[in-house]
Structure 1
Amino acid sequence: MKLIKYGLFIAFGFFLSCSSNQPTDNKVKNGYNVELATKLNADQYGMSKYVMAFLKRGPVRSQDSITAAELQKAHLENIESLADVGKLVLAGPFFDDGEIRGIYIFNVETIEEAKALTETDPAIKAGRLVMELHPWYGSAALKQVNEIHKSLQKQNVSEQ
């Protein structure tokens, strides 16, 4: 009986040591994950430089409905492509019908880099959208949004 109690005591102690929040190596200390911070190029605050883009209605909105739909599909495919290569960490439309149609957050440090990326967008090329670009400082964790998003989506743009 003493042997069983002793064995349970040891097992309970092992369980507690494995389930504690104490780091088991030097990679994580007080919640800070050195490896992940390095991978995401986070500064000491866990932040990174980005460029935020406001997508606005462009001057050329006279396309027929078929052309507009084709441009929208190409626009979405471009978003997917930029996200796949890690240059776009967040994108999405606004639900209202205002002048600002949506946002992008580019994983770049300069306006010039972001401008070059916006010029790949078929809706921008056609004048249907224009971009307003601003340097922005945000959580480095945003760089993981696309990876997480892929595990949540049932369908992507290319399947439509």
Structure 2
Amino acid sequence: MKLFKYGLFIAMGMLLSCRFNPSNENKIKKGYNAELATKLKADQYGMSKYVMAFLKRGPVRNQDSITAANLQKSHLENIERLAEEGKLVLAGPFFDDGEIRGIYIFDVETIEEAQTLTQTDPTIKAGRLVMELHPWYGSAALKQINELHKTLQKQNVSEQ
């Protein structure tokens, strides 16, 4: 983890050194799409602020199988609703059986906004999952992933 944080600090330092380098002013990269960048609210690096959520095992995991299945179905329906509203740009489970069950990436400015959205999840309300929220900086192109996903999806995941 320390190595990751160290690497993150180096990357941020490099990013900031480029940002304040006067020789970089007015350089526009070939292929830059100003209209799309504006639409996606991208900064000059094509990036945007998000809030990343780690979905972790909650303290209440003793539901019977029918209740757990119903909670999971409602959880998936909530994910779809948040994606349709443009508040959730990415969600998915991890394949291992670890403590962290999945991730969300919210297209919101603050942890508080993301916290409010997490409270709409039935699995959070039931205590089956808890969320750990972190501000995150990533490609503004993520905001288009839900529309692209719809073109690849044969079946809706909540209809299983």
Q: TM-score, normalised by structure 1?
A: 0.81
User: Aligned residue for 2:34?
Assistant: 34
Match of 1:149 in 2: 149
Structure 1 unaligned residues grouped into runs of 5+: 1-27
Question: Which string of whole-angstrom CA distances, capped at 9 and with x for unpartnered residues, describes residues 95-138 of structure 1?
Answer: 00000000000000100000000000000000000000000000
Which AA in structure 2 matches 1:32? Y
Q: Write the letter of the residue equivalent to 1:118.
A: T
4+ residue runs of structure 1 moved beyond 4 angstroms? Answer: none
Note the 1:7-156 alignment, pairs <5 A.
30-156=30-156
Cα shift at 1:30: 1.6
What residue in structure 2 maps to residue 9 of structure 1?
A: none
CA separation in 2, counterparts of 1:29 and 1:94?
36
Residue 157 of structure 1 deviates from its aligned partner by 3.3
Q: CA RMSD in A?
A: 1.2
Residues 6-42 of structure 1: CA distance to partner in whole angstroms, max 9, x if unpaired?
xxxxxxxxxxxxxxxxxxxxxx972100000000000
Counterparts of 1:97 and 1:57 in 2: how far apart (Å)? Answer: 10
1:48-81 superposed Cα distances (whole Å, 9 cap, x missing partner): 0000000000000000000000000000000000
- Select the structure of larger CA radius of gyration: 1
| Percent of aligned pairs sharing the same letter | 86
> Under a length normalisation based on structure 2, what TM-score does the superposition of the two structures give?
0.81
Give the letter aligned to residue 32 of structure 2. Answer: Y
Q: Look up the match of 1:11.
A: none
